[in-house]
């Protein structure tokens, strides 16, 4: 991860984890960019990086917990279904390509979801979240969580066009990192399900072109965060499995330094408006019928009176 001090990479190693207050301790080392071979870029993920990433870092603590992964996964799926149901019911499929505030297309069969329920999940926005020491080391103490979303790649999605999420803030000099993305896969990533491909070193000014010799495709397990400079070139690969591939992401910026008006603009996208509720399941309908204890009694009464036609109405 390129960071504040001159042109250097920042390597982070988790050396301790405190069970009581759930905090992580990291040891940071810096290497001058000019002294490096390309393998030294740190994009953080679970896999061993030539001994730089300690066992502690690879431990189970440095990731979302299993129940948190399931919660985020289910919320993303429910949100995707709710948006698609609403878009279909409101006859707005033709507007999907332009994007809605709640969901934007990012390539064939790949959607960027804004899941409102994620805003209420404290474990995502917590200053004690496992990835925060790294975020602070890159951006300084004063950081803002600018956006939380989910990249929802459907079975059969295509590889994306190579891109950077944000531009350099200066065209002339290489400035320190002003924003990072934290990607957290909600299933184990693999080449088959379309792990994100990164082009190492492309966050350096005038070094941003796609270069096959600089490609890395980390395959972290579910819940393991992957932190990268907002200017780093990358693309989501195609999903050739029959399972959706949701990747939660958090965008942090150095406070006051940067607001992304392109990706997260409220004005740019159509508002989807009120969501259309899902039809009730068989179980819910059954529960409603049974829950209406009064109705059951009434039904009994009505039956006695031989008014069976009214019974039919109340019980359906
Ligand atoms: O889905 C992915 O793996 C990456 C998505 C992405 O980079 C984007 O849409 O900007």
For all residues of the chain together, what is the average pLDDT?
77
Q: How far, in Å, from the CA of 129 to the mean position of ligand 1?
A: 22
* DSSP character at residue 184: E
Flag whether pLDDT at 36 surpasses 50: no
Residue 239 Cβ inside 6 Å of ligand 1? The answer reads no
Is this model's pTM higher than 0.85 or not? no
User: Residue 22's pLDDT band (boundaries 50, 70, 90)?
Assistant: low
42: which 2 tokens? Answer: 């740190």
> 64-254 has which fold?
Jelly Rolls (2.60.120)
User: Residue 305's pLDDT band (boundaries 50, 70, 90)?
Assistant: very low
**Residue carrying structure tokens 């080391």:** 137
Q: How far, in Å, from the CA of 235 to the mean position of ligand 1?
A: 6
Flag whether pLDDT at 220 surpasses 70: yes
Report the pLDDT value the prediction gives residue 197, as an integer from 0 to 100: 94
- Domain boundaries defined on the chain: 64-254, 282-315
Flag whether pLDDT at 315 surpasses 60: no
Q: How far, in Å, from the CA of 236 to the mean position of ligand 1?
A: 5
pLDDT digits (tens, 9 = 90+) for 262-271: 666 666 788 8
**Cβ neighbours of residue 154 under 8 Å, at least 6 residues apart?**
109, 110, 111, 239, 244
Residue with the smallest CA separation from ligand 1 atom 2 is 236
Report the pLDDT value the prediction gives residue 41, as an integer from 0 to 100: 36
Is 261 exposed, middle or buried (CB count within 10 Å of its CB: 0-12, 13-18, 19+)?
exposed
Residue range 195-206: mean pLDDT, rounded: 88
Residue 247 Cβ inside 6 Å of ligand 1? The answer reads yes
232-246 in b/e form (b: 16+ CB < 10 A) is bbbbbbbbeeeebbb
Report the pLDDT value the prediction gives residue 312, as an integer from 0 to 100: 31
pLDDT digits (tens, 9 = 90+) for 223-265: 988 888 899 999 999 999 999 999 999 999 998 777 776 666 6
What stretches of the chain adopt beta strand conformation (E)?
8-18, 23-32, 103-105, 110-113, 143-153, 179-185, 196-199, 215-216, 226-229, 234-236, 245-254
Q: How far, in Å, from the CA of 20 to the mean position of ligand 1?
A: 35
Pocket test for ligand 1, best of 111, 188, 203, 235 (most atoms within 8 A of CB): 235
Pocket test for ligand 1, best of 110, 167, 187, 247 (most atoms within 8 A of CB): 110
Pocket test for ligand 1, best of 234, 240, 244, 248 (most atoms within 8 A of CB): 234
pLDDT digits (tens, 9 = 90+) for 278-298: 888 888 888 888 876 444 444
Residue 231 Cβ inside 6 Å of ligand 1? The answer reads no
Residue with the smallest CA separation from ligand 1 atom 1 is 236
Residue with the smallest CA separation from ligand 1 atom 7 is 235
4: which 2 tokens? Answer: 């504040």
Q: How far, in Å, from the CA of 151 to the mean position of ligand 1?
A: 6
Residue 165 Cβ inside 6 Å of ligand 1? The answer reads yes
pLDDT digits (tens, 9 = 90+) for 38-97: 233 334 433 333 333 333 334 445 688 899 999 999 999 999 999 999 999 999 888 888
User: Residue 144's pLDDT band (boundaries 50, 70, 90)?
Assistant: very high
Residue range 195-200: mean pLDDT, rounded: 91
Least confident of 9-13, 112-116, 170-174, 192-196: 9-13
Report the pLDDT value the prediction gives residue 262, as an integer from 0 to 100: 66
Residue 153 Cβ inside 6 Å of ligand 1? The answer reads yes
Q: How far, in Å, from the CA of 106 to the mean position of ligand 1?
A: 7
Residue with the smallest CA separation from ligand 1 atom 3 is 236
């Amino acid at each position: 991860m390129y960071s504040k001090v001159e042109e250097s990479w920042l390597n982070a190693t988790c050396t301790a984890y405190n069970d009581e207050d759930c905090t992580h301790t990291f040891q940071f080392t810096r290497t001058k960019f000019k002294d490096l071979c390309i393998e030294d870029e740190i994009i953080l993920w679970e896999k061993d990086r030539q001994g730089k990433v300690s066992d502690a870092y690879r431990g189970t603590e440095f990731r979302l917990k299993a129940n948190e992964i399931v919660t985020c996964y289910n919320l993303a799926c429910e949100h995707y279904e709710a948006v698609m149901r609403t878009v279909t019911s409101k006859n707005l499929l033709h507007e999907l390509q332009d994007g809605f505030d709640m969901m934007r297309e990012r390539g064939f069969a790949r959607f960027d979801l804004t899941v409102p329920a994620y805003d209420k999940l404290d474990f995502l926005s917590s200053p004690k979240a496992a990835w925060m020491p790294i975020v602070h080391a890159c951006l300084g103490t004063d950081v803002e969580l600018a956006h939380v979303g989910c990249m929802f790649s459907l079975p059969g999605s295509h590889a994306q066009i190579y891109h950077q999420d944000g531009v350099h803030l200066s065209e002339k000099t290489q400035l320190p990192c002003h924003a990072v993305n934290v990607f957290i896969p909600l299933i184990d990533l693999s080449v088959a399900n379309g792990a994100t491909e990164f082009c190492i070193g492309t966050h350096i000014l005038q070094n941003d072109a796609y270069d096959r010799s600089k490609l890395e495709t980390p395959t972290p397990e579910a819940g393991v965060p992957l932190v990268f400079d907002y200017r780093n070139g990358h693309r989501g690969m195609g999903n050739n499995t029959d399972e959706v591939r949701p990747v939660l992401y958090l965008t942090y910026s150095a406070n006051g330094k940067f607001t992304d008006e392109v990706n997260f603009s409220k004005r740019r996208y159509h508002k989807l408006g009120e969501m259309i509720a899902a039809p009730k399941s068989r179980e819910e309908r059954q529960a409603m019928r049974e829950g209406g204890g009064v109705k059951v009694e009434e039904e009994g009464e009505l039956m006695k009176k031989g008014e069976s036609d009214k019974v039919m109405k109340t019980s359906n």
